[in-house]
């Protein structure tokens, strides 16, 4: 049965308008993006198929262009729309950080870094450069590594902090394994960066490790 023939209270679009986006299931949200189904399959049927194929909604969102465009009902144009929607969300989070003290919005910072780094197939070391009011100046991915390692060079970090006139930074990197527990090497490079940045009076406020679930904070562990 087409979605248009369903009771109004059960249609994803009408449910969203009446009750808000958070009232919809993952499949219903994805169905709104898909918009139209195929012969014998509604948009909601397709959404459920996609989530089953990739294991979760996040699995769908993290999939590559080749993986997604192999699915029935999803071509290059639809993939481009999906990536644009994801980038809109990231930029919305970035705007929140630009306008407010990052340290007063720790969850927004976590969500932003997770949206940028989670699901990456290689380790990426990134930095939030902040002004003296702890507002975001820039987010930069400075180093990329292999599946489980990334070479971080303190001199380059110091150079970027000077160019951007940063007063503080938040360090971040992902663990492609999904296990966010910091390693001894993570703690070592954090200490090196604190020492190097301290010479130019730039504070390291935190180091967040992104994996599955909630990112791990060095500051919360008492390591900074």
**How would residue 5 be classed by pLDDT, with cut points 50, 70 and 90?**
low
Other CB atoms closer than 10 Å to residue 171's CB: what's the count?
A: 25
Residues 116-141 have pLDDT tens digits of 898 788 999 999 999 999 998 999 99
- pLDDT greater than 90 at residue 28: no
Q: Return the CATH fold of 102-221.
A: Cytidine Deaminase; domain 2 (3.40.140)
- DSSP annotation of 149 reads -
- Strand 203-210 relative to strand 168-174: parallel, antiparallel, unpaired? parallel
CA distances from 142 to 68, 145, 154, 155, 224 (A): 28, 10, 11, 12, 21
Q: Are 42 and 34 in contact (CB under 8 A)?
A: no
The residue that leads in pLDDT, 39 or 216, is: 216
The residue that leads in pLDDT, 96 or 57, is: 57
Q: CB under 8 Å to 221, separation ≥6 — which residues?
A: 182
The confidence score (pLDDT) of residue 74 equals 75
Q: Is 138 helix (H, G, I), strand (E, B) or coil?
A: strand
The confidence score (pLDDT) of residue 207 equals 96
The confidence score (pLDDT) of residue 3 equals 63
Domain range annotation of the chain: 3-74, 102-221
Q: Are 178 and 119 in contact (CB under 8 A)?
A: no
The confidence score (pLDDT) of residue 222 equals 94
The confidence score (pLDDT) of residue 8 equals 56
The confidence score (pLDDT) of residue 115 equals 85
Least confident of 73-77, 93-97, 178-182, 206-210: 93-97
* Nearest CA among 53, 61, 64, 3 for reference residue 28: 3
Mean model confidence pLDDT for the chain? 86
107-125: b or e for each residue (b if 16 or more CB lie within 10 Å)?
A: ebbbbbbbbbbbbbeebbb
The confidence score (pLDDT) of residue 59 equals 82
Residues 74-88 have pLDDT tens digits of 788 888 888 888 888
Whole-model pTM: value is 0.71
- pLDDT greater than 80 at residue 212: yes
Q: How far is CA 96 from the centre of its chain?
A: 14
Least confident of 97-106, 144-153, 175-184: 97-106
């Amino acid at each position: 049965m087409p979605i248009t023939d369903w009771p109004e209270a059960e249609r994803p679009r009408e449910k969203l308008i009446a009750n808000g986006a958070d009232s919809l299931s993952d499949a219903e949200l994805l169905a709104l993006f898909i918009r139209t189904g195929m012969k014998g399959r509604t948009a909601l049927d397709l959404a459920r198929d996609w989530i089953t194929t990739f294991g979760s909604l996040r699995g769908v969102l993290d999939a590559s262009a080749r993986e997604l465009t192999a699915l029935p009902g999803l071509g290059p144009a639809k993939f481009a729309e999906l990536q644009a929607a994801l980038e809109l969300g990231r930029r919305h989070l970035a705007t929140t950080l630009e306008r407010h003290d990052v340290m007063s919005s720790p969850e927004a910072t976590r969500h932003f870094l997770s949206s940028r780094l989670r699901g990456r197939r290689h380790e990426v070391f990134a930095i939030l450069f902040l002004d003296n009011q702890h507002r975001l100046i820039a987010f930069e991915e400075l180093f990329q590594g292999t599946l489980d390692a990334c070479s971080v060079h303190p001199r380059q970090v110091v150079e970027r902090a000077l160019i951007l006139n940063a007063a503080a930074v938040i360090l971040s990197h992902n663990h492609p394994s999904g296990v966010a527990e910091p390693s001894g090497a993570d703690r070592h490079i954090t200490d090196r960066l604190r020492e190097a940045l301290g010479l130019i009076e730039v504070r390291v406020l935190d180091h967040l490790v992104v994996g599955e679930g909630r990112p791990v904070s060095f500051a919360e562990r008492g390591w900074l």
